[in-house]
Amino acid sequence: MNNHSACTTILVGKKASIDGSTMIARNEDGEAPLNPKNFIVVKPEEQVQNYKAVISGVEIKLPDNPLRYTATPDVSPKIGIWGESGINSANVAMSATETITSNSRILGVDPYVTGGIGEEDMLTIVLPYIKSAQAGVKRLGALLEEFGTYEPNGIAFSDQDEIWWFETIGGHHWAAVKIPDDAYVVAPNRMNITDFDFDSPDTLCSKDLKELIHNYHLNPDYTGYNLRHIFGSATVKDNQYNNPRAWYVQRFFTPEIEQSPFDQNLPFICKANRLISVEDIKWALSSHYEETVYDCYGDGTKAQKSQLRPIGINRNQEVHILQLRNDVPKEIAGIHWLAFGPNTFNTVVPFYANVEDTPAFYKEVKEDFSLDNMYWLSGVIAVLGDTNYNLYSDVRDDYVQDSVAAFRHIQHKADQNAVNKADSSNYLASVNEEYAKVAKELTTKLLGQMVMLGAPQMKLRFNLGD
């Protein structure tokens, strides 16, 4: 039943970030290169109460007191909502989901549930009803125990103080870890949690998980509880598809530690050698093993350049960095950084989350191609950029720096002005419109620059002096 097959997640605690904010981020990667997305706000009166999944058919009666929240759903409703990312009006963020791995030992004990919940459903049935990150863990855990799931997933929750990472285990079980404030995590498509302390206040899990491990002899280690060893995988595919992504991001944030891209035991919780910014996270989620032989645009052999699955990939549908700030009033604390399309060629925009609506350029995407929205405009640039990476890389780099600098300049002024506004939500919506206008202008300018650079390189040419 899994329709969205691969993502990459990064989590950054408030003492590990450059400005004291919590940040949870993820590339949403689809099975196919194109799967148009929208950026919307779901108001309480628009939230469904009798929820029915498209894929599994599961029906869930939802509470009647939902909060407003942002989301990035699929444009097509054919396989469900797939809300994926959002911040609610209580300044709680959720990213769902990172597809992870499992093994036959746990699935023999607790099989997947065909009529259970999955990635399609999770944001919609959880985010509108939680007022803290830990509350998100507990609500999703209860839903998982009641309805089961048909796939393995990792889910991130955050508020202004805490980040929690949740992983499903089999059909009905789960475990979650509070990420230390001074740490970061990179989570590719594998079971990620390693050492798990059942007695710690910083862990939560299904109530019988420890007994399950013992009763069914699931632990391959002599001591301790490494959940990746117990419930996850260590396969050749992990060596090519998952572990290298963790290795490369850890190499970026903690370069003094020497590790192999093929190491099955790369750490889960890490400490960076510097404070981490939004720009750092975006670069990592756009990366393709630059300055190594594995870079698809680099100088390695043909076999090396295709050996490892990159992080920035043609199947990136959107990237979100959900930032909850602690140095501003709560009304402007939530920032839903967002970009559409392959991350190697796009840029993120810092949309305020405390709004009633989103800009048309980001919310009125259609399934049919049109340059009247950011999803398809980003796609055109990515396709063109991929034809000659080195030719376009300089104008792409300038575009990224200039656009984020422009957005940050707008944000600094808006942060100062918002405190004096009687209706801050409407004011922030107008700022978001300004972001979208600047994003459209700068992205269109980039496309024009790329066309000018690319036209002389066309093979369809003949000069009289040749």
Query: What is the helix (H) or strand (E) element at residue 234, kind and residue range?
Result: none
Q: What long-range pairs does 238-244 form, CB within 8 A, spacing at least 24?
A: 238/101, 238/190, 238/264, 239/264, 240/307, 240/308, 240/309, 241/6, 241/188, 241/189, 241/308, 241/309, 242/101, 242/188, 242/189, 242/190, 242/309, 243/188, 243/190, 244/289, 244/294, 244/308, 244/309
Q: How far apart are CA 429 and CA 351, in angstroms?
A: 9
Q: How far apart are CA 323 and CA 430, in angstroms?
A: 20
Residue 296 is a catalytic residue: no
Both tokens assigned to 120: 């399609």
Residue 112 near residue 151, CB atoms below 8 Å: yes
pLDDT tens, N- to C-terminus, the chain (466 residues): 445 568 999 999 999 999 999 999 999 999 999 999 999 999 999 999 999 999 999 999 999 999 999 999 999 999 999 999 999 999 999 999 999 999 999 999 999 999 999 999 999 999 999 999 999 999 999 999 999 999 999 999 999 999 999 999 999 999 999 999 999 999 999 999 999 999 999 999 999 999 999 999 999 999 999 999 999 999 999 999 999 999 999 999 999 999 999 999 999 999 999 999 999 999 999 999 999 999 999 999 999 999 999 999 999 999 999 999 999 999 999 999 999 999 999 999 999 999 999 999 999 999 999 999 999 999 999 999 999 999 999 999 999 999 999 999 999 999 999 988 989 999 999 999 999 999 999 999 999 999 999 999 999 988 877 6
Both tokens assigned to 36: 């148009």
Three-state secondary-structure class, residue 277:
coil
Peptide bond into 97 cis (omega under 30): yes
Q: How far apart are CA 331 and CA 335, in angstroms?
A: 10
Residue 83 near residue 94, CB atoms below 8 Å: no
**Is 0.85 topped by the overall pTM?**
yes
| H helical segments located in 117-185 | 119-126, 133-147
Three-state secondary-structure class, residue 91:
coil
Length of the chain: 466
Q: For 163, how many CA atoms within 13 A lie in the half-sphere containing its CB?
A: 31
The amino acid sitting at 338 is: L
Say how many C-beta atoms besides its own lie within 10 A of residue 344's C-beta.
Answer: 24
